[in-house]
Structure 1
Amino acid sequence: MSIRARAEQYLTMRRALGFTLRGEGRSLLEFADRLDRTGQPTVTIAAAVAWASEPDGITAARKRQRLAIVRGFARHLAAFDPDCQVPPPGLLPGRAHRPTPYHYSAEEVAALVHAAGTIAAPLPAATMQALISLLAASGLRVGEALALNRDDIDPHAAAVTVTGKNDQTRLVPLHPTTTQMLAGYAVRRDQLCPTPVSPGFFLTTTGRRVQHRGVHQIFTRLLAAADIHTPPGHRRPRIHDLRHTFAVNVLIDWYSAGVDVSARLPVLSAFLGHNSPESTYWYLQATPQLLALAAQRLDTAAQPSRREVTTP
């Protein structure tokens, strides 16, 4: 059996367990085709490292990601092939680093929505305005928003049914103004595209579901139109950073209101579709303002104990 056939079996098994594995699947099949093409009968550590490190200009983090894709497959294949070598963790040097996301101000979000409205084609203009507004108001992932169907949005309950990672669904409440905005977009969409070919909520001029690539390309142009620039030493702002901005703003509001953030954090984690609060804690680490508020809260909590120590 070819390595590609083994890889396809592995992907079928993982997807049956609920994993989507879109990009990872394409990468694994690319690696499997390489082995078959070069006549290698199984996975070796040398072949895995060479493939993981191959693309020009690849970052250390991406090398580790590519090697991890092979490692998972190799663990599966080793159960059938004793000659299969499993690349050990930590084989490639360097630490994983999550680049600091961009935090949009309210004025910048408004500027992006306004810039989207200047797109010449009316339906793409309306779609990008609604999409940006929804992401900023709900913290959805871009893919989650683009995967929405018409019947996923319940205007009467002011909520949206979201299918997240690994096909997990959750109900996300919406502010009445967001519900009203989406209803207005739906009317405009149906006027401009009365015979769609997709059940998707966000549509292109051809009546098909909006795709990631097109959104990212348009968003890059909107950044320039909104006069939003890349800070020195940072990566370019992304549309996904609207999700980060939403989460950070919620945490800032909680800290400013004096509520017990630790007690409420699981609620925000569930709202964002995180598996655990640990994933949400990263937002604290990534934003200086949040770190300052958390440190201030800690210092305030420690003051009574300090007075007890210093009281004669």
Structure 2
Amino acid sequence: MNAMCGHVEDYLRMRRSLGYKLERAGVLLPKLVDYLETAGSPTLTSELAISWARLPVGVSPNHWAARLAVARGFARYLQTIDPATEIPPAGVFPARRNRPTPYLWSQADIARLLDGARALRSPIRAATHQALFGLLAVSGMRVGEATGLDRGDIDFETGVVTIRHAKHDRTRLVPLHETAVAALDAYATERDRLCPATRSDAFFVSNTGTRLTPSGIAKTLRQITTDMGIRDATTAPTAHQLRHSFAVRTLIDWQQSGVSIDGHIAILSTYLGHIAPSDTYWYLLASPELMATAAERLDTRLGART
């Protein structure tokens, strides 16, 4: 089984070099190798992979499907080395992907959010979160992408932000409107005045001059949205949902302006850092307003033909 362990290490190293983190696979694949060793099998077969996938009890089929997906990915790689390897079939477990409907921030909500951030007691915390939430709202960046920005990543002359470690560890360029650039420039000036001796090169800094953390941002957002009265037992707005709202607002503006979404979706997909336009199309289903606008345009088109 030492050879199998080596194949796991090579597989993970190869995939990670392509930008995939494979955190789950890094945990599960050694356990799969242990299972094969216990079974006395030098070869990965579909039967063994499926049996291993469904070992956990009291879990949903989604959990089994996720484990089997890890095994399938490794099996595809392993089959190029050992032709006797069997790739488990897809769809063995009746898994469903239920994506929760995101909270869609209205323009009024965003304005109140920025006002609430500016009213925070600490001046540097207030300035930082107002600028951060504003950037997320107008760019659709992921939270981790924004907090990962260093000072040299924003070119105030060209208005372009360089995200160096986007999803799958890719680099992408995000052009901003001149008003957003001006707001970030003003924040940078205020940040340097309020916190001249920072402890990192981060663009957005905390009270102590360090890079912001996801938990700290979430805590601040909970405080503000609770004060705004939009957070309750069933509604929990998040910073990431500013990204959803940016995408939905862009699509709504296109629809209402008569712009072809099919003809422009690739542009939005690239801007958001999606691997495929299909990931962006999901936002069409996330907004009743989008669906209503689409239905209205369809009725108008069909009505014109009768």
Smaller-chain TM-score range?
A: 0.7 to 0.9
Q: Which ranges of structure 1 fall in alignment gaps of 5 or more residues?
A: 307-312
Partner of 1:226: 228
Cα pair 1:48 1:87 within 8 Å, conserved: no
**1:209: Cα distance to partner?**
2.4
Cα pair 2:127 2:190 within 8 Å, conserved: yes
Q: Identity over aligned residues, as a percent?
A: 40
**1:136: Cα distance to partner?**
0.5
Q: Relative to 1, partners in 2 of residues 1:204 and 1:5: Cα closer, same or farther, differing over 3 Å?
A: farther
* Amino acid paired to 2:52: A
Partner of 2:236: 236
Partner of 2:274: 274
**1:160: Cα distance to partner?**
1.4
Partner of 1:310: none
* Amino acid paired to 2:106: S
* Amino acid paired to 2:110: V
Q: Relative to 1, partners in 2 of residues 1:131 and 1:2: Cα closer, same or farther, differing over 3 Å?
A: farther
Cα pair 1:135 1:243 within 8 Å, conserved: yes
**1:103: Cα distance to partner?**
0.6
| Cα distance in 1 for residues equivalent to 2:116 and 2:63 | 33
Cα pair 2:53 2:65 within 8 Å, conserved: no
* Amino acid paired to 1:98: R
| Cα distance in 2 for residues equivalent to 1:193 and 1:83 | 62
Cα pair 2:269 2:280 within 8 Å, conserved: yes
Q: Secondary structure at the match of 2:105?
A: coil
Q: Secondary structure at the match of 2:25?
A: helix
| Cα distance in 1 for residues equivalent to 2:248 and 2:299 | 21
How do residues 58-69 of structure 1 correspond to structure 2 at under 5 angstroms? 60-61=61-62, 63-69=64-70
| Cα distance in 2 for residues equivalent to 1:195 and 1:252 | 44
* Amino acid paired to 2:226: A
More displaced, 76-85 or 215-224?
76-85
Q: Deviations over 1:221-240 (max 9, x none)?
A: 333222222585xx733211
Q: Deviations over 1:32-52 (max 9, x none)?
A: 4545777647763222332xx
| Cα distance in 1 for residues equivalent to 2:128 and 2:20 | 26
TM-score (normalizing by structure 1): 0.81
Q: How many residues align?
A: 296
More displaced, 121-130 or 291-300?
121-130
Q: Which ranges of structure 2 fall in alignment gaps of 5 or more residues?
A: none
Structure 2 residue 146 is the aligned partner of structure 1 residue 145? yes
Cα pair 1:75 1:86 within 8 Å, conserved: yes
Cα pair 2:163 2:171 within 8 Å, conserved: yes
| Cα distance in 2 for residues equivalent to 1:301 and 1:116 | 44
Q: Deviations over 1:7-26 (max 9, x none)?
A: 33322111222x231xx32x
| Cα distance in 2 for residues equivalent to 1:194 and 1:289 | 45
How do residues 183-222 of structure 1 correspond to structure 2 at under 5 angstroms? 183-222=185-224
Q: Relative to 1, partners in 2 of residues 1:9 and 1:189: Cα closer, same or farther, differing over 3 Å?
A: farther
Cα pair 2:65 2:93 within 8 Å, conserved: yes
| Cα distance in 2 for residues equivalent to 1:66 and 1:120 | 46
Q: Relative to 1, partners in 2 of residues 1:198 and 1:37: Cα closer, same or farther, differing over 3 Å?
A: farther
**1:182: Cα distance to partner?**
0.9
TM-score (normalizing by structure 2): 0.83
Cα pair 1:4 1:29 within 8 Å, conserved: no
Q: Secondary structure at the match of 1:161?
A: strand
| Cα distance in 1 for residues equivalent to 2:86 and 2:224 | 47
Q: Deviations over 1:170-206 (max 9, x none)?
A: 3222122211211122122223332334322122334
RMSD: 2.9
Cα pair 2:125 2:206 within 8 Å, conserved: yes
Partner of 2:123: 122
**1:300: Cα distance to partner?**
1.8
Partner of 2:99: 98
Q: Secondary structure at the match of 1:71?
A: helix
* Amino acid paired to 1:294: A
Partner of 1:156: 157
| Cα distance in 2 for residues equivalent to 1:119 and 1:4 | 52
Q: Relative to 1, partners in 2 of residues 1:239 and 1:3: Cα closer, same or farther, differing over 3 Å?
A: farther
Q: Deviations over 1:140-163 (max 9, x none)?
A: 111221222212211122221234
| Cα distance in 1 for residues equivalent to 2:245 and 2:258 | 20
